[in-house]
Structure 1
Amino acid sequence: MRPNRRIVPYLFAAPALLLFGFAVLAPALATGAFSLTEWSGFGPMEFVGLDNFVRAARDTVFVSSFLHVAVYIAVTIVLEVAVGLALAGVLVTRRGGSPWFRVALFTPVMLPMVVVAVLWGFVYNGDFGLVNAALKAIGLGDLSRVWLGDPATALLAVCVVSGWVYAGFYMAIFYAAFAQIPGEVVEAARLDGAGELTIFRRVKVPMIRNAVEVCVLLCVTGGFQSFDLFYVLTGGGPYNVTEIPTTYLTRVVFRDGEVGYGSAMAVLMTAVVVLIGLAFMRSRLRKAS
């Protein structure tokens, strides 16, 4: 039944639009306005124009935080997306595998990230952690160290935790995508003499290319949204080697009380994420054409 008045569709959409305006649009506009001021969160604001953006461009910690998150994203694409794709391929090859195996792989996704970070903090503990204990048990005690306190291993240690959590998430997505592939295509490849590995690489993965691209985009944008894992495990340390834009922004705003400067960093980070998303969509349109 079609509405007999043009205003009816807008009335139905009004609650969602109001919620979007209140929860997303208004804070975004306020952040943009704050970025042009020097303000501690209390008292009068002082308009400073683009000074905060210039300061952010010269802030070595802020600039290096983007390098850290880029490394984090690159490693997690392997540990999350690639490992999830491999796990899904194994499950499909084995006709679905055990349901309990799939549940076990997906369980870490359902745990609160703060709980995961606390648990892995014990695993990485330099005195009684499981990692050092395992190394000593197999005769590699010389490799034991304070994993989260060593600048050479802290960022990689955080990446491993993230991979442990989200590999099962991407596995579930890829498993569902593989299940949509027509069985006739796979059987035809087998009749042509292709092995399971060749079928996986040359048939199955190309047929779920859209799912792979979406998962990579989720991994990239999710990397910029990461906060709790870094904050609980390392707090940005040691010596800022695990500082990412979100943790540094939080420290500047809530510890140092520089709301204006923190807002400028938030605007810059948002701009970077938007540009990455636009570049991704443009590349997909080029492939489609």
Structure 2
Amino acid sequence: MSGKSNKLSPYLFTAPAVLIFAFVVLVPVLMTFVFSFYDWNGIGAMTFTGFDNYIRAFHDRIYISSYGHTLIYIVATVFVEVLVGLGLAGLITMGRKGSGLFRLAFFVPVMLPMIVISYLWKFVYNSDFGIVNMLLDTIGLESWTRVWLGNPDTALYAICIVSGWVYAGFYMTIFYSGIQRISKEVYESAYLDGAGERHIFFKIKIPMIRNLVETGILLCVLTGFQAFDLFYVMTNGGPYNSTEIVTTYLVKVVFTHMSIGYGSALAVIMTIVIAVIGLVTGKLTKKDSDALEY
């Protein structure tokens, strides 16, 4: 009897976690997939429509363009978050005085709520009394002033800069931790060979934390599809849908237009896109690792 109870005990201990995971994740995912085949406003009767919602999605100009905006956002944030974070990590690992304060200053935005940051930067970009336009006026560049968040040509890039300001410190901390694990003997050998800080950064630090850099890029890509609060607060997809991304459009479809079925279909498509990107990136990363080992 005791032997049988010992065999069941692992399942009993894991059962609560499995049930919670099923209730919070698996059931909503399954129900979303089911709803995607219906026309339903969340209140009235459900009408089975088959693949009509999916066909409608591929003819939805705003939804298709939202992927383009998301792609631009991801590419921009790879530069202003990952690459800038990598550069900052290289600077603070040079051993100069004040690097601790420098590191803290760049990490502070990560700890602030995104809602607070969004409203803060809305004031910074304000066309009447914002810091950006005031600074341009002060240095004699009045012609460069813009309605930054109200101009379709600049709104998306303005948001990308805010995202970079927030998360560059996050990636800086990750890369800084990786660089700190490099043996000091490697640096000493490089110094003896006459290498400068620039050569050490590009020839030693970056190659030895390559896996972290690849992970950072993958994380930046996947989290780019999860962006919401920054776009929702700063522009809510405007002006003229120029900053509409997948998540903000999903919220409008479901909660504004009350189209649960169509919104579910959009969510399923987005999930498939993210899964494919993750699988492809994982395979490419694995091939690179195998090639290096070979």
TM over 0.5: yes
- Greater CA deviation, 186-195 or 222-231? 186-195
Residues in 2 aligned to 1:202 and 1:49: alpha-carbon distance in whole angstroms = 56
Residues in 2 aligned to 1:108 and 1:285: alpha-carbon distance in whole angstroms = 33
Residue 69 of structure 2 corresponds to which residue in structure 1? 68
Residue 7 of structure 2 corresponds to which residue in structure 1? 6
**Alignment coverage as a number of residue pairs:** 288
Unaligned runs of 5+ in 2: none
The residue type paired with residue 233 of structure 1 is M
Residue 209 of structure 1 corresponds to which residue in structure 2? 210
Residues in 1 aligned to 2:234 and 2:260: alpha-carbon distance in whole angstroms = 25
Residue 151 of structure 2 corresponds to which residue in structure 1? 150
The question of 1:129 aligning with 2:130 is answered: yes
Residues in 2 aligned to 1:190 and 1:43: alpha-carbon distance in whole angstroms = 73
1:12-64 CA-to-partner distances (Å, cap 9, x unmatched) read 22122111111111111111011111000112111111110110011011000
Residues in 2 aligned to 1:116 and 1:9: alpha-carbon distance in whole angstroms = 45
CA change 1:98–1:251 in 2 (3 A) is same
Unaligned runs of 5+ in 1: none
Residue 168 of structure 2 corresponds to which residue in structure 1? 167
Residues in 2 aligned to 1:284 and 1:214: alpha-carbon distance in whole angstroms = 9
The residue type paired with residue 39 of structure 2 is E
Given that 2:228 and 2:248 are in contact with CA atoms closer than 8 Å, whether structure 1 keeps it comes out as yes
- Greater CA deviation, 240-249 or 100-109? 100-109
The question of 1:92 aligning with 2:93 is answered: yes
The residue type paired with residue 52 of structure 1 is N
The residue type paired with residue 93 of structure 2 is V
Residues in 1 aligned to 2:158 and 2:167: alpha-carbon distance in whole angstroms = 15
Residue 19 of structure 1 corresponds to which residue in structure 2? 20
Residue 246 of structure 2 corresponds to which residue in structure 1? 245
Residues in 2 aligned to 1:16 and 1:111: alpha-carbon distance in whole angstroms = 31
Residues in 2 aligned to 1:120 and 1:94: alpha-carbon distance in whole angstroms = 33
Residues in 2 aligned to 1:276 and 1:211: alpha-carbon distance in whole angstroms = 18
SS in 2 for 1:225: coil
Residues in 1 aligned to 2:248 and 2:97: alpha-carbon distance in whole angstroms = 40
The 5-angstrom pairing of residues 98-137 of structure 1 reads 98-137=99-138
In the TM superposition, structure 1's runs of 4+ consecutive aligned residues that sit over 6 Å from their partners are none
Given that 2:156 and 2:242 are in contact with CA atoms closer than 8 Å, whether structure 1 keeps it comes out as yes
1:175-232 CA-to-partner distances (Å, cap 9, x unmatched) read 1111111111121122122211111111111111111111111111111000000000
Residues in 1 aligned to 2:233 and 2:115: alpha-carbon distance in whole angstroms = 7
Q: Normalised by the size of structure 1, how large is the TM-score?
A: 0.97
In the TM superposition, what is the alpha-carbon distance from 1:95 to its structure 2 partner? 5.0
Percent of aligned positions that are identical: 55
Residues in 2 aligned to 1:37 and 1:87: alpha-carbon distance in whole angstroms = 50
Residue 187 of structure 2 corresponds to which residue in structure 1? 186
Residues in 1 aligned to 2:49 and 2:11: alpha-carbon distance in whole angstroms = 40
Residues in 2 aligned to 1:30 and 1:111: alpha-carbon distance in whole angstroms = 34
The residue type paired with residue 56 of structure 1 is A
Residue 236 of structure 1 corresponds to which residue in structure 2? 237
In the TM superposition, what is the alpha-carbon distance from 1:165 to its structure 2 partner? 0.4
Residue 33 of structure 2 corresponds to which residue in structure 1? 32
The residue type paired with residue 36 of structure 1 is F
Residues in 2 aligned to 1:216 and 1:106: alpha-carbon distance in whole angstroms = 19
